[in-house]
């Protein structure tokens, strides 16, 4: 009764959860492109797309993606053999247990005429499948907690996934082990199947089961004489053998039974087998009910994502379907860390400790964004920095075993975050090249705005009034900064400048303007000079810093060996640091 009730509750929660998840696929939004498309339009487009795909030649592509990528995990095999082995053991072990053990009534019984869970090969196979999952979970624990891979982060969802599998499997094995030794269980069976046997027969049967089946009896203890065993064997063959192979075939469970043997009687009296049974099925039902909300949901979302990505293309697919796919992809992520291991800039996390640099962690932030969670400006800025610190090399996308188009996710999210108007100084670096290449597909005004906002953000670290009103007396600035630059290997040569203007004459950017100073603020030679005079407001408000190509013409031609370009590079980092400090001092928000 309790079993049935809890099963139905679990199934109901599972079904509702599933429906809710699919609902979010059509209602959550990532990126500006998704903003204008209604949920109804997305459902319509999805149905249309699915029908069209099914009736086109793409069905073969779909099947390939399903079997090779989803079931056999070919991509994971290429990336990391150990992880592939782990997944394969868990996936196949668990699926086979689900079908032939949990759903035996619907699968094993109709399929095999001779099916009994306690005869060979079934008793052996069930144990084997359980062992597969346990080894798989063992590998998972080893990878996450002992291997210490810097790119592999472990969050509470990963811990839950490991824990729920471990509890289900271990309780199953312990239950089987306890049942092998259980005398209560033995007596129940005798009651049911050997009612007519006389006392001597039962004595023999008990001896036989203690000897060969691992039963731990409070009365009968070996060694037994041959005649008793012989007598027991006859009864056994008549009443038990048909349904019971020797439990030694279930290697793991039998081993467990042997270990429990010294305390088997006490365990039996304490109803431990019954308790283990409750633990086992309740763990299964909790796993089932919570599945749609846990990382385990990937068993549905990942195959769908793999198949969708196999037949969809950015250029030809309906924007409504891309919007839906991108939300679904967040559920397809298994947090396996393959993307972060392959990330071109993952190493930077060592010096800029923003978790959002790592692709596997970006997904977590994207989930929060897509769900419309209220995030603080600080959080949003951190996410934006992580999203922008990306060379767009596509290695994460190519490597992802779940077939997620990570690069497109970053791009969509990046544009939405930029639209919120926070200054991201990385916009002023070559990380923007990719955005430039995509300019034709972007909203022109919004595209240009990001750079302006970043430049304005830099000016936050500057006293602009001083720069605008040159009639006010120039005050010498912070001398500590000058000492710092004098000590910096990148910038120290500025003091060798004797203002011959060769650098400014050599600069292709300066030469591009008729009145360069109006556009660029200070020219390179003036910047060198202004650093010497500690005119920091002038230096850091100079547009020249951000319009510098880093082409090194200035540096190459300098007769005084001033490393002009390197000085400018150093000044850029200082300008960014100053702007950050100023903003955080004023608003309490760290940029």
CB-nearer residue toward other proteins: 212 or 394: 394
Inter-helix orientation angle 564-587/524-532, to 10°:
60
Q: Is the link from the previous residue into 223 a cis peptide, with omega within 30 of 0?
A: yes
> Minimum Å distance from CB 489 to other proteins?
5
The whole-angstrom separation of Cα 464 and Cα 458 is: 11
Tokens of 274: 């019954």
CB-nearer residue toward other proteins: 131 or 576: 576
Helix (H), strand (E), coil (C) string for 89-133: HHHHHHHHHHHHHHCCCCCHHHHCCCCCCCCCCHHHHHHHHHHHH
Closest CA to 130 of 162, 174, 161: 174
C-alpha distances (whole Å) from 181 to each of 190, 254, 265 are 15, 9, 8
The whole-angstrom separation of Cα 454 and Cα 445 is: 15
> Minimum Å distance from CB 300 to other proteins?
30
The whole-angstrom separation of Cα 281 and Cα 289 is: 12
Sign of CA dihedral 443, 445, 448, 454: negative
CB-nearer residue toward other proteins: 3 or 433: 433
> Minimum Å distance from CB 17 to other proteins?
37
> Minimum Å distance from CB 535 to other proteins?
22
CB-nearer residue toward other proteins: 325 or 435: 435
CB-nearer residue toward other proteins: 56 or 391: 391
> Minimum Å distance from CB 341 to other proteins?
9
> Minimum Å distance from CB 58 to other proteins?
23
CB-nearer residue toward other proteins: 262 or 436: 436
CB-nearer residue toward other proteins: 193 or 394: 394
- Surface-to-core class of residue 565, CB atoms within 10 Å of its CB (0-12 exposed, 13-18 middle, 19+ buried): buried
CB-nearer residue toward other proteins: 39 or 426: 426
> Minimum Å distance from CB 150 to other proteins?
7
Interaction site with other proteins (CB under 8 A):
150, 342-348, 350-352, 391-395, 398, 425-437, 439-440, 448, 451, 489-490, 508-509, 512, 546-547, 549-553, 555-556, 563, 565, 569-570, 572-573, 576
Closest CA to 390 of 409, 404, 374: 409
Alpha carbons within 13 A on the beta-carbon side of 91: 13
> Minimum Å distance from CB 126 to other proteins?
40
> Minimum Å distance from CB 457 to other proteins?
13
The whole-angstrom separation of Cα 353 and Cα 590 is: 13
CB-nearer residue toward other proteins: 300 or 447: 447
The SS3 call for residue 199 is: helix
């Amino acid at each position: 009764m309790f079993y049935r009730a809890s099963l139905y509750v679990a199934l109901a929660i599972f079904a509702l959860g599933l429906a809710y998840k699919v609902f979010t696929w059509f209602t959550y939004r990532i990126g500006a492109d998704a903003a204008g498309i209604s949920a109804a339009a997305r459902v319509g487009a999805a149905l249309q797309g699915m029908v069209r795909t099914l009736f086109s030649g793409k069905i073969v592509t779909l099947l390939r993606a399903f079997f090779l990528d989803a079931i056999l995990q070919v991509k994971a095999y290429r990336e990391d053999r150990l992880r592939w082995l782990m997944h394969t053991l868990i996936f196949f072990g668990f699926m086979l247990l689900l079908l032939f053990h949990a759903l035996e009534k619907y699968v094993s019984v109709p399929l095999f005429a001779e099916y009994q869970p306690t005869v060979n090969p079934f008793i052996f196979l069930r144990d084997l499948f359980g062992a597969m999952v346990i080894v798989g979970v063992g590998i998972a624990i080893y990878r996450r907690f002992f291997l210490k891979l810097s790119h592999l982060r472990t969050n509470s969802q990963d811990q839950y996934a490991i824990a729920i599998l471990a509890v289900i499997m271990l309780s199953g094995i312990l239950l089987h082990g306890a049942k092998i030794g259980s005398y209560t269980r033995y007596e129940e069976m005798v009651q049911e199947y050997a009612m007519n046997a006389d006392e001597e027969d039962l004595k023999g049967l008990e001896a036989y089961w203690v000897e060969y089946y691992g039963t731990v009896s409070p009365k009968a203890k070996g060694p037994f004489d041959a005649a008793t065993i012989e007598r027991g064997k006859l009864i056994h063959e008549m009443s038990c053998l048909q349904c019971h192979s020797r439990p030694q075939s279930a290697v793991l469970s039998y081993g467990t039974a042997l270990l429990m043997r010294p305390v088997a009687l006490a365990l039996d009296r304490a109803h431990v087998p019954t308790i283990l049974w409750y633990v086992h099925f309740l763990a299964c039902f909790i796993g089932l009910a919570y599945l749609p909300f846990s990382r385990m949901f990937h068993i549905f979302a990942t195959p769908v994502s793999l198949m969708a990505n196999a037949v969809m293309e950015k250029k030809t697919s309906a924007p409504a379907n891309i919007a839906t796919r991108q939300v679904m992809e967040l559920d397809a992520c298994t947090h396996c860390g393959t993307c972060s291991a392959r990330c071109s800039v993952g190493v930077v996390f060592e010096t800029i400790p923003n978790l959002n640099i790592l692709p596997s962690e970006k997904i977590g932030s994207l989930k929060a964004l897509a769900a419309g969670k209220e995030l603080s400006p600080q959080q949003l800025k951190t996410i934006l920095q992580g999203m922008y610190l990306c060379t767009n090399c596509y290695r994460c996308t190519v490597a992802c075993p779940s077939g997620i188009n990570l690069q497109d996710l970053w791009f969509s999210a990046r544009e939405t975050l930029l639209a919120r108007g926070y200054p991201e100084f990385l916009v002023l670096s070559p990380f923007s090249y990719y955005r430039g290449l995509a300019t034709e597909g972007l909203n022109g005004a919004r595209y240009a705005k990001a750079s302006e906002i970043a430049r304005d953000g830099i000016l936050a670290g500057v006293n602009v009034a001083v720069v605008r009103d040159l009639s006010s007396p120039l005050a010498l600035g912070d001398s500590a900064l000058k000492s710092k630059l004098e000590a910096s290997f990148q910038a120290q040569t500025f003091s060798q400048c004797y203002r011959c203007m060769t650098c400014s004459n050599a600069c292709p950017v300066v030469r591009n303007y008729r009145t360069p100073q109006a556009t660029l603020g200070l020219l390179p030679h003036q910047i060198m000079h202004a650093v010497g005079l500690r005119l920091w407001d002038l230096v850091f408000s100079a547009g020249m810093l951000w319009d510098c190509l880093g082409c090194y013409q200035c540096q190459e031609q300098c007769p005084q060996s001033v490393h002009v370009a390197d000085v400018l590079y150093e000044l850029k980092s200082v300008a960014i640091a100053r702007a950050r400090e100023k903003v955080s001092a004023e608003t309490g928000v760290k940029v």
